Structure formats: C-alpha cells, structure tokens
Amino acid sequence: MTTSADTGGWVGRSAPRREDARFLAGRGRFVADLGDAATLHAVFVRSTQPAARLLGVDVSLARRQPGVVGAYTGADLAEDAGPLPTLHEPHPGFAAATQFRMADPALPCLAVDEVLYVGQPLAVVLAHSRHLAEDAAELVDVRYADRAAVTDATEALRDDSPVVHERLGDNEAGRIGFTLGDVDTARAGAHLEVTETYRMGRHGAVPLECRGVFATVDHRRERVEVWTSTQIPHLVRDTMCRVTGWATESVRVAAPDVGGGFGTKANVYPEEIIIPVLARRLARPVSWVEDRAEHFLAAAQGRDQVHHTRLAVDATGRILSWEDDFVVDIGAASLWTAGILANTAVHLLGPYRMRCVRVHGRAAFSNKTVVAQYRGAGRPEACFALERSLDHAARELGISQEQIRRRNLLTAADLPHRVDLPYRDGVPIELDGGDYLACFEACLDALPRAELTRLRAEHPELAVGYGVANYLEATGRGPYETGRARLGADGRFAVAAGSASAGQGHQTTLAQVAADALGVDPAAIAVVNGDTDAVADGIGTFASRSAVLAGNAVDQACRELVSRARQLAAQLLGAPEARLRDGVFEAAPGTSAPGDSADSTAGAAGTLSWAELAAALGPRGTLADAPPLDVTVRYRPLTVTWTMGSHAAVVGVDRETGLCRVLLYAVAHEGGTEINPMIVHGQIVGGVAQGIGGALLEEFRYSADGQPLSGSLADYLLPETTDLPPVRVVARHTPTGANPLGVRGAGESGTIAVYAAVAAAVQDAVGAHVTATPITPAQVWRAASREPALGRAG
Amino acid sequence: MTDVRIVVNGTPVEQSVEPRLSLADLLRDRLGLTGTHLGCEHGVCGACSVLLDGRSVRACLTLAVQAHGHRVTTVEGLAEHRTTRSLVAALSAAHGLQCGFCTAGFLVSATELLEESDGAELTDRDVRAALSGNLCRCTGYQGIIEAVRQAATDSAAGAQAADGATPAS
Amino acid sequence: MKPAPFEYLRADSVPAALAALAEHEDAKVLAGGQSLLTLMNLRLARPSVLVDIGGLAELDRVFSDADDVLIGALVRHRRVETDPELRALVPLAAAAAGHIGHVGIRNRGTLGGTLAHADPAAELPLVMVTLGATCYLESLHGGVRAVPAEQFFVSYYTSALRPDELLTWVRVPRVRAGQGWGFVELARRHGDFAMAGAAALVELDSLGEVRAVRAGLMSAGETPLLVSGPDGLVGETASARRWGELATEWTAELEFSEDPEYARALARVALRRALTEAEARAESTPEAA
C-alpha cells in the first residue's frame, strides 16, 4: 500500500466503494432499466448467412403486425447514417517504423447490398413491447444469394481466397512489422532453435450485461440524449456525429451503470447509431436491449490469432533471436485493427533482454463477427507465443521454466531499458520498471513449486503441474483524458472525467484522488463520469488507462482549482498569499496577518473554509464578480506507463478424462501508486478469472462454412465459482515518474499471462506440448495417453 | 390475458398479464423492481434469481402466471431477512462486487444458502458449490465467497448471542 | 429472447389436465418449466397451448412401501436431493439429482418434467433406467398405463408419452440391504450436462460376492442406456481390474458421432468409477447375516 507523501492519504487506501450501496440495494440504473410505458422497443433483424448478397429485405408484413410502429431496412436508413470509421490510427512515427498499413472496411450501420457475418444487422422493427417486436421481426423476409464464406484467417490471406470486402480486393485488414538487430546472424550462432505454431482461439469479453441503447429526444434542448452501455461515450458521440452529420451540441451520450465491458463495449456499434436515428425520426423514446443470443452473434469478439515462431538461444538459454509471423482474424470488420496489431507486435518483446527480433503480423478479414479489443487486446496472444517458446527451449535444453526466465529477465541493472522502436504513440519505447527478475522471484515465493507436494497429497487422483509466465504491459496510453473539478455553492465538489466505469469503481477512486488534492473527505466530492454533459470531450476506459489518465486529469484539475482558490482565499484573508492546509485556507506564513483589511468572510483566527469561499463566490458574496471555480484539464501523458508481472499456476489434470482444474494461482506485478489497493486487487483477480476461462473453457466456435456454433451460455462456457482457484496477489510497489500520481495501469494485468501459465502447468502435469487454447479435455486426454504434441490440429 | 395475484416483497399485487410474460419482466417492467437483472434469459447466469416461496428460482424461467398465488421476494425485499445486513456489509468489505450486475442474484442465492445452513460455518467449497449457478464476470468470485462465509460466521455468532452463549471470537 | 405467444390453461386437477391434453393436440405440459421455458425463450419450441400442472399438489407427494417409493411427477429435484426420506430410500436418485444444473434450477425442475423431456444427457432418466423404475402415464381416453423406464425413453427428446398423456407417478425400487450405488458424472463444469456419466447398482451377498449388477450410461446414445449384461460378475469377487474389464466390455459397442475414441474412453471411465463406488458402498451396507 502506498500513500502520497504530501497528501491527505486517501490515495493508497482501500476505501469502501460509493457504488456498492446502490447495487446491494438493487438500485443500479442499467440501460435496460431506463424508459417507461411510452418507450418503443427495437429488435434488429440479423443476417443468418455469413456471406451473401442481399437480394431483398421485405418489412411490409412486419409493419402491419399488431403493436408495430415502424420497420426499416438498410436502404430506408442509408441516408441517415454512413458507415462506421475506424476508431484508432497509430502515430505516423510508429506507422513508418513498422510499415503499418490498414484497410478501411467501412461497414454500413444496417446492411444494404450484402451481409458479411451471421448476426450483422440488416433491418430494425419498432413496437410497443419487445415481445411484439420479436414477433414482427420473424416476419421480415430476407432473401440471400449466398457466396463462399471466408472462415480461416490464414486461408483468407491467400491469393485464391474469396474476398470478404469486394471493393478492397483482398482480405488484408492490416499489416505491421519491425526488425531489431541482425536476426539472421544471431540465429546462425545459436546453440538451439525451436520453432512452433501457436494458436489462441476466438473468445471474448462476454460481460454479464449485454449491450443496450436508450435514446430520447429532448425538444427543449433540441438534442437527442443517448444512454448506451459503453466504455467510450465520447467516442460514440464523436462517431455518431460524424456518420450522421449531426452537430455535437445536438447529441448527448452517457453511460448508465454498465454491467461489465472488458473491451467489447469499448467499441462503436451500428445499434448505437440506428437507435438515436429512430428516436429522432419518430420523436419518441426508443430502447434496444440486446439479448444473449444476439450478443453471441453481434457483440465484438476477440483473440483468434495464430503465431509462427522461431526462438534461438545459446546453450544456457539466453535469447539470441526471436521471430514471430502472426495472423489475426478480425472478422468482417474491426474498428481496432491498429490497436490489436500494434499491441501484439510490440508486446512480443516481453520483459526480457532481446536484441534481435523480427516480427511480422497481418490482420485478415473473415466472415465472422466483428472484433474489438478484449482485455489484453493482443498482449495475451503475444505472451502465449513467447512464453511457450521459452518453455519449449527450456525443455530441449533440459533446464527448468524458471531457469530460462531467470536467464533472460531484465534486472534492475538493465532498467530503464530502451528499445529501438517507437510505441504506438510515436514515442521511443523505454521500459521503466524496478526489477523484473525480482518480480518473478516474488511470484515464485508467493506460490512456490514446493506447494505441489501438499497439493498432490490432497488430490491423489490428479496429475498436478506447475507453470509460470511473465508479461510486459503498456498501460495508460493517451492521447489524453479530461478531468474537471468544480466547487459547488455549499462548499462541496463536483468532479468529472472522460472515463466510463464498467465496474472499476471510478466514483470511488477519482473521489480519493480529488480528496487528497483538495484536502477534503471523499464524501464531500460527487464524481460523474461517462457523460458528454459532464466533460465536453474525452476518450474513455479501456487499455488499462483510467487510473493513469483520468486519475491524473482529475488530480491536475483539482490542483489547478486549488491554485486559483488560493488566490481568491488570499484576497478574502487580506493576505498576499494563502495556502491550503488540512482542507482549510490560511495566510501563508511570513505574510501580513489579517486585521488590517479584515474581511467579514474570513473565519476565526484567519482561516477560510471551502464553504466560506463558495459563499463568497456566490451572488451575495464579496467575490460575486469572480468567475466560478470550475477547472477542466486535459491530461496528456508523455507516453505509456509500462508495467510487468509474473504469474504462477498449479493445475490438476484428471489423466483419464483430460479435465483440468486450476488449483492455485499467484500474480506478482510491478504496480505503481495504487489509488485503492482493494480495487486493484479485484481487477487482478477478475482478470485471472477471465484468463482461466479463455485458457480452458471459452471459445466462439464456427462451422467450416461460417455458422456460429456458440449461441448461448450453454455452449460458451464461462467459469463458475467451482472453476476458479484462490488467487494470491503480490503488489510490488515500483514508483514511476511516468505520470504525476505515479500510477501504473492494472486492468489487464491479471489476464495477459494466464494462458501461458496454465498451458505450462498442464504440460508439466501430463508432459505434452500445449500449443493452442482453449485447452480442451479431449486434447489433454490424448496427450496424457500417448501423443507428445498437443494442439497441432488447432 | 390472465389475472395473477402475487405477494411481492410482502405486498399483494394484482396484474393482468399475457401468459408469456416472464416473472422477471413482470417484476421489472410492471412493478418497477429493476433490481432483478436479465443476463441471459435461458436460465444459466442466475442474475435474475428471486425467492419464490422462499426458494431461489430463475425469474426468466418462470412465467408470471406460474407465480399466481405465491410469494416472491426480490433483492429490493431482502432487507426483511435476518442475514441480509451482514451479507451486504460483508460483500462491500470483501469487494465482492464490481459492476453490480450479478449482485442481486448472488444476494438472493446467498440468502437462501445462509437460511438453509441455519448458522453453520460454511467452507470455501460449500459456498462455491451452492453458488455455482450464479455467474460473475468481474470479480473472479473470491470476494463473494469470502463475504458469504463471513456472513455465515456472523450469523452463527448472532445466533449464539441470541441463545445467551458467549460468541466465539 | 421472448417466447412466441401461446394459450395458457391452468389445470386445477389431474382430470382437468387430462381433458385439456385430450382437447388440444399441440399442447405441452408445463411443470417446472426449466427445460421447456428455456426452449420457448429461444423460440426453439413454440407450443400453441401450455397446460400448467404446477398447482396439482396431489402430484407433489411421495409414498413408500416395503419395496418401492412412489414419487409424484411434480416432486422437485431439490426435494429428491435433500429430503432425508428420499435420500435414505433412493440414494442413487438423490445423488444424481444434486448434479442437475444449479440450486435455482433444482428448486423448480420436476421429476416428471425431466423424464418427459427425455434428454439422454440428463441424470434422472439414467437413474430411473438403472433402478428399473416404472412410469405411470395417464390420459383421458386411455386410463393409466405402466411403462418400464427402459421402454419409456425412445430417442433424443422423445419419450413414450402420447400427445394426450401425462406422466403422473414413478415407482422406484428402494435401495436394499447389501446393495450399493454409484453415480459418476463427467462434465466440463459443475452442473453442466454430462459429457459422459454412469449410474451403477452392485449387490453383494453375505460372502461379499457379487449377486447382481445393474449399470447405465448418460450421453452414450439416443436414450439412457442400460449396459450391464445379466451375468456381469455374478458369483465372483469384485476387484478394480474386473470392474475395468467389465466397463471396457460394456462400452465396446457404443457409437458416437463426435470423437468416438475419446467419448468411449469417457464412458468407460465413468462406468468403471461408478461400479467401483457402488461396490464400496455395498461393502459398507452389508446384508443382514
């Protein structure tokens, strides 16, 4: 736990969450809770084919159904909204250094001429109830001319593949590559080379709350108000205005309580555009609540990468060269292709000493559901490829998983570590950390191999194995985040930020940051985020950025507010200068005492409270002509804040069935200042849970001709209480100057290395080379029975 | 349309409903009790759990007409239960919720567990097995399990105190 | 995911339920609704009429005599799982019931419902076949007929129930002295439908030799399968090796559409483990000398 030296000590405290009261009382306000009897309910008609020309979409019968208010095709609404633009492009410096290229899929909001994935929306029905809208939606007649579907990313990149987006000519959605050092020479001198193909199956966020949009027109304010279950309300607003042509002031976008996002809600969706369009068109409130079946077809998915790797080491296991040629299947479209490619490519560096690296990556279009950034967003895939390769080399050399990592981890002497490559923000990479090797050792201390003895005795029916993995993580990427602090009339504060919480507790953490800067109790601070009314611009919450960016933005805004307040307080105190001490203003020492120009607003003994200052700024106060204390700041970090961590997993395998259970897990991570250690801990444990799900259980499966096979929570297996182990977390406080609060992001830290650690543990248990996730019981059973190589069939 | 009479959180309610209206939709849309959440509508996630005559059920797999003549308790009505205060306090203290979407369902299921176990101490395994029908995507369950065990301990101590015995420290 | 519209009839007696089923050809019976309403929410099932028998308290009862337990179709899984009388009399059923989904499902799901649903991956259909239970089917025009469990399950989701029939009671042989039971379910997660599963009854005589064996499998075919031959091990002393051999023999002819090698291995493992468990229990509940 850390406490800022010169603050009131709220940062660093595991303060109880403000959010809890309403959720525990059943008083949350999620998007499905909004609206009333007048609200119209929308149902989207979605493609049942993965690739087809649309010969016709006939809504005439649907329109005539009882309770139906309207039914619209893509053609009907084509003028109202253009195609969705990508949300992210890398800095030109990065793009040049990595020969980055990207295609623009430009998917329309509602399909008009063609459909490119099962689940793509192509019509929408509005009725007085969801029930009636579903009834009518079944009567929309869609005629398709099927074409060959592209379902394998590697095949998609072949010259003879069918093309997903005809106008683009091929299926390359993006490419990236870089080389460090002289790979070929380094490799030539290697003692050992290991090559392998690694696959991470398609899976994703699957939050407990599906998506949803509620839009209503405010005629007095002449604008549409859009509540959407999103992590990025400002980007949704910006995109909405861009594709509709609406003026920014005519749109408000806000996130209500959001039931988990994990990246799938850090996306802009066609539904988020169409629902407001309909609300405007009909001048009626319109609600769309995604159901789980839709979610599995139409909410952005993740992972789905294949890596062709070659690691060369010397006789002691020291890395000489590392090469990876990877392909990402980004589905029919992605607004985050650049982010996924860049994250994967850069994080292949790992927290290791590596001088010679050659990375080449491509993203391919396929006729599968759209893809966005899911917790880790490329880092887990990169980590899996690298860590598994290290294990492979270790086995060939006859050394342990631990030994090969000790040989290569960056130590205190190596840090900060410069890499001859810019990060996606264009700034040269410099890994700022404490001691990566020591972090690894701390993880091994938290969950030592020696515990296997006890665990094996407790589970004699299982083969128990131990696996470790390390990850590197860039957090807190800019370009900026907005923070705002305002002194209210009663001396309490309103703080706002561009972040949007989906469970990370920003209402609590940002109040803690503000409390320290303002010298007051967090209870005196009301935090609003996720709303374009609260701050006019912002980016949002994803990529482990909000503690760094929103935290520092709020901190800066509060400090700026304090700075201005001090000037006003000085006036009121009749002193040349005032300072804020323990939440109260007083004349700065060495300046003239009050009394000469005594002001009636100065409190006893020459002090001034925030409430008194607020009163002075009020209409009857002595400073009534002064502008209100309301500060908005855009915090721009210089670059990302790096962090790393180590994971250790103990997995028990039933050899006779291949069923695997994670028995115990540990994470040690180089964290910075933790605004609320309890919340950071919760993020890590939750992240591990999702990693275990992805490693062992979760997959979006598709048939060979592009039909989704994972249509419900009965097919797509989420970890239950009985699937997850206790997780030990060691936070190794590693101060950083990368941002004023010294925070390192942690939202994805729990997930990134799980796949590799679990795979290593399974391998340790049954002695077979795990090269793909999800690690299925059938594969493990085969390996335990006889075969040495697991997962080649993918 | 069918008439149903249901006692919801202790209050008799009369509604005229389409047979296909789920109990969840009746509670949420007709009665404004939006604390019960719909996460899947096919009975897997448990977010919609309510007590029907004191037993946890999935409100998405119960028709409103099936609840006719019965008692329903939602998260909004749990304050009546002896164990609720310590359960709520324990969940917050143990950081057993993040986004809050699954929380109502867990409160209902945990209330049933605590009542059925009637003051007994609960192991980690007991709690995990009993709550396996409630999914959480945020917390990894650790805080939830800890909280329910704590509430069970508090309940045992409370029961002992009520008996006049010295509570275990 | 809202169901398609349907007509709703609430039966206030068994005869009323039978009359409704006789009148409406397309009617489906609504008991606990855990399987039916799931399918209806997904619009995979669209009955035009639902006959709600949930209020028929007369079918939510249990009777026992010297040999059998008569369990009403509306008895909930949670009761089968936890009721002390049922746990004592039909422990195999009680143990299996604990694997059905999760508590919230078991609070609603009924014995009659799960048997009528006839999913070969479900627990209680397997148990009823293994125990040699008898299902009582009633209709307005046909009266009552008794169908042995082994004949009740016809194919995937298809039972011997005629469209106008209601399953009202199940007669289940009670556990005898000297008889041990075993139940093994192999699933990806707690409460999931089984990848493979087995139920076994082993009866030992006073010398500890096998007198009778009955065993069945879930998820091994279109229906729960009774796989034990009539002579399996009778007169022999059991051993882990012999159970393994029997399990191999009894699963050798099974056909699976997906990954048959693995599926058969799972069936074999589940069966062997269930037989082993059953024997162990038989040894600890010896027949009176």
Chain C residues with CB under 8 Å of B134 CB are: 102
Q: Which residues pair with C171 in a beta bridge?
A: C70, C134
pLDDT digits over A350-385, tens only? 999 999 999 999 999 999 999 999 999 999 999 999
Q: d(Cα A345, Cα A323) in Å, to the nearest integer?
A: 11
- If asked whether residues C160 and C246 sit together in one domain, one would say no
- If asked whether residues C47 and C94 sit together in one domain, one would say no
Handedness of CA A151, A156, A158, A160 (dihedral sign): positive
Chain B residues with CB under 8 Å of A257 CB are: 99-101
What phi and psi, each to the nearest 5 degrees, are found at residue A673? -60, 130
**Element (DSSP H or E) covering residue A22:** helix A20-24
Q: CATH no. for residue C77?
A: 3.30.465.10
Average pLDDT over residues C143-158: 98
Does the residue C273 lie in any domain? yes
- If asked whether residues C270 and C231 sit together in one domain, one would say yes
Going by their DSSP bridges, the two strands B55-58 and C196-204 should be labelled as unpaired
Q: Does A599 score more than 70 pLDDT?
A: no
Chain B residues with CB under 8 Å of C42 CB are: 42
Q: Does A623 score more than 70 pLDDT?
A: yes
Does the residue C113 lie in any domain? yes
pLDDT of residue B81: 85
Q: Tell me the three-class secondary structure of A67-92, residue by residue.
A: CEEEEEEHHHHCCCCCCCCCCCCCCH
- If asked whether residues C165 and C202 sit together in one domain, one would say no
Question: B42 in contact with A at a CB cutoff of 8 Å?
Answer: yes
For residue A774, cis peptide bond before it (omega within 30 degrees of 0): yes
Rounded to the nearest angstrom, the minimum Cα separation between B146 and chain C is 20
- If asked whether residues A682 and A718 sit together in one domain, one would say yes
**Which residue numbers of C have CB closer than 8 Å to A's CBs?**
1-2, 4-5, 42-43, 186, 188-193, 195, 259, 262, 265-266, 269
Does the residue C1 lie in any domain? no
Does the residue C117 lie in any domain? yes
Q: Please, what is the end-to-end C-alpha distance for chain C in angstroms?
A: 60
pLDDT of residue C289: 41
- If asked whether residues C233 and C277 sit together in one domain, one would say yes
pLDDT digits over A721-757, tens only? 999 999 999 999 999 999 999 999 999 999 999 999 9
Which of C109, C144, C173 is at the close of a domain?
C173
Are B43 and C101 inside 8 Å of each other by CB? yes
Q: CATH no. for residue C226?
A: 3.30.390.50
Are B101 and A210 inside 8 Å of each other by CB? no
- If asked whether residues A49 and A122 sit together in one domain, one would say yes
- If asked whether residues C168 and C75 sit together in one domain, one would say yes
- pLDDT above 70 covers a percentage of chain C that reads 98
Average pLDDT over residues A82-108: 95
Angle at C125 between CA C120 and CA C127, to 5 degrees: 120
Q: Does B168 score more than 90 pLDDT?
A: no
pLDDT digits over A487-539, tens only? 999 999 999 999 999 999 999 999 999 999 999 999 999 999 999 999 999 99
Structure tokens given for A788? 């040495």
Q: Does C96 score more than 60 pLDDT?
A: yes
Question: B20 in contact with A at a CB cutoff of 8 Å?
Answer: yes
Does the residue A553 lie in any domain? yes
- State the virtual CA torsion across A403, A407, A409, A411 in degrees, nearest 10: 120
pLDDT digits over B114-131, tens only? 999 988 999 999 999 999
Q: How confident is the model at residue B163 (pLDDT cuts 50, 70, 90)?
A: low
pLDDT digits over A21-36, tens only? 999 999 999 999 999 9
Does the residue C110 lie in any domain? yes
- If asked whether residues A610 and A517 sit together in one domain, one would say yes
Q: How many domains does chain A have?
A: 3
Beta strands in A530-629 (DSSP E): 578-581, 584-587, 607-609
- If asked whether residues C146 and C124 sit together in one domain, one would say yes
Give me the helix-helix angle, A754-766 and A677-692, nearest 10°. Answer: 50
- Annotate C73-138 with DSSP letters as a single string: TT-BHHHHHH-HHHHHH-HHHHHHHTTSS-HHHHTT-BHHHHHHHT-TT-HHHHHHHHHT-EEEEE
Which of A635, A662, A694 is at the close of a domain?
A635
pLDDT of residue C232: 64
Q: Which residues pair with A769 in a beta bridge?
A: A789
Q: CATH no. for residue A431?
A: 3.30.365.10
Q: What's the helix, strand, coil split of chain A in %, to 5?
A: 30, 25, 40
Are B61 and C41 inside 8 Å of each other by CB? yes
- If asked whether residues C25 and C80 sit together in one domain, one would say no
pLDDT digits over B26-43, tens only? 999 999 999 999 999 999
- If asked whether residues C95 and C130 sit together in one domain, one would say yes
Q: How confident is the model at residue A596 (pLDDT cuts 50, 70, 90)?
A: very low
Q: d(Cα B36, Cα A292) in Å, to the nearest integer?
A: 16
Question: B52 in contact with C at a CB cutoff of 8 Å?
Answer: yes
Structure tokens given for C212? 């009778």
- If asked whether residues A593 and A489 sit together in one domain, one would say yes
Does the residue C288 lie in any domain? no
Instruction: Enumerate neighbours of C (3 or more CB pairs within 8 A).
Output: A, B
Contact B122, B149 (CB under 8 A): yes
How many Cβ atoms sit within 10 Å of the Cβ of residue C213? Answer: 24
Going by their DSSP bridges, the two strands A769-770 and A789-790 should be labelled as parallel
For residue A121, cis peptide bond before it (omega within 30 degrees of 0): no
pLDDT of residue A788: 44
pLDDT digits over C7-16, tens only? 999 999 999 9
pLDDT digits over C196-211, tens only? 999 999 999 888 899 9
Q: Which residue of C has its CA nearest to A292?
A: C1
Domain span at residue C230 reads: 179-283
Rounded to the nearest angstrom, the minimum Cα separation between A21 and chain B is 8
Are A659 and C188 inside 8 Å of each other by CB? yes
Rounded to the nearest angstrom, the minimum Cα separation between B160 and chain A is 27
Rounded to the nearest angstrom, the minimum Cα separation between B164 and chain A is 31
Interface of A with B in 331-370 (CB under 8 A): none
Interface of C with B in 87-116 (CB under 8 A): 101-105, 107-108
Substitution target in B98, B132, B136 with the highest count of A β-carbons within 10 Å is B98
Q: d(Cα A353, Cα A419) in Å, to the nearest integer?
A: 10
Which of C140, C173, C206 is at the close of a domain?
C173
Substitution target in C6, C38, C188 with the highest count of A β-carbons within 10 Å is C188
- If asked whether residues A507 and A577 sit together in one domain, one would say yes
Domain span at residue A435 reads: 302-418+425-477+638-786
Does the residue C148 lie in any domain? yes
Structure tokens given for A742? 């010294």
- If asked whether residues A395 and A256 sit together in one domain, one would say no
Chain B residues with CB under 8 Å of A682 CB are: 95, 98, 138-139, 143
pLDDT digits over B57-95, tens only? 999 999 999 999 999 999 999 988 889 999 999 999 999
Chain B residues with CB under 8 Å of C40 CB are: 20
Which of A635, A661, A696 is at the close of a domain?
A635
Among A235, A238, A481, A504, smallest CA distance to A375 is for: A504
Chain B residues with CB under 8 Å of A686 CB are: 98, 137-140
Chain C residues with CB under 8 Å of A134 CB are: 1-2, 43
| Prediction ipTM score | 0.96
Contacts of A197 (CB under 8 A, 6+ apart): A306, A307, A308, A309, A771, A792
Which of C147, C173, C199 is at the close of a domain?
C173
pLDDT, chain A, mean:
95
Q: How many domains does chain C have?
A: 3
Chain B residues with CB under 8 Å of A212 CB are: none
Which of A256, A290, A324 is at the close of a domain?
A290
Are A503 and B100 inside 8 Å of each other by CB? yes
Are A656 and C269 inside 8 Å of each other by CB? yes
Does the residue C2 lie in any domain? no
- If asked whether residues A629 and A647 sit together in one domain, one would say no
pLDDT of residue C15: 97
Contacts of C283 (CB under 8 A, 6+ apart): C180, C204, C208
Q: Which residue of C has its CA nearest to B55?
A: C107
- If asked whether residues C209 and C143 sit together in one domain, one would say no
pLDDT digits over A201-220, tens only? 999 999 999 999 999 999 99
Interface of B with A in 114-133 (CB under 8 A): 124, 127-129, 131-133
Q: What's the burial of A294, exposed, middle or buried (CB within 10 Å: 0-12/13-18/19+)?
A: buried
SS3 A216: strand
Chain C residues with CB under 8 Å of A721 CB are: 190
Q: Number of A:B CB contacts under 8 A?
A: 160
Angle at B45 between CA B41 and CA B48, to 5 degrees: 60
Question: A292 in contact with C at a CB cutoff of 8 Å?
Answer: yes
Q: Does A787 score more than 70 pLDDT?
A: no
Q: Which of B76, B88, B140 sits opposite A685 (nearest CB)?
A: B140
pLDDT digits over A136-159, tens only? 999 999 999 999 999 999 999 999
- If asked whether residues C73 and C169 sit together in one domain, one would say yes
- pLDDT above 70 covers a percentage of chain A that reads 96
pLDDT of residue A605: 64
Chain A residues with CB under 8 Å of C1 CB are: 134, 291-293
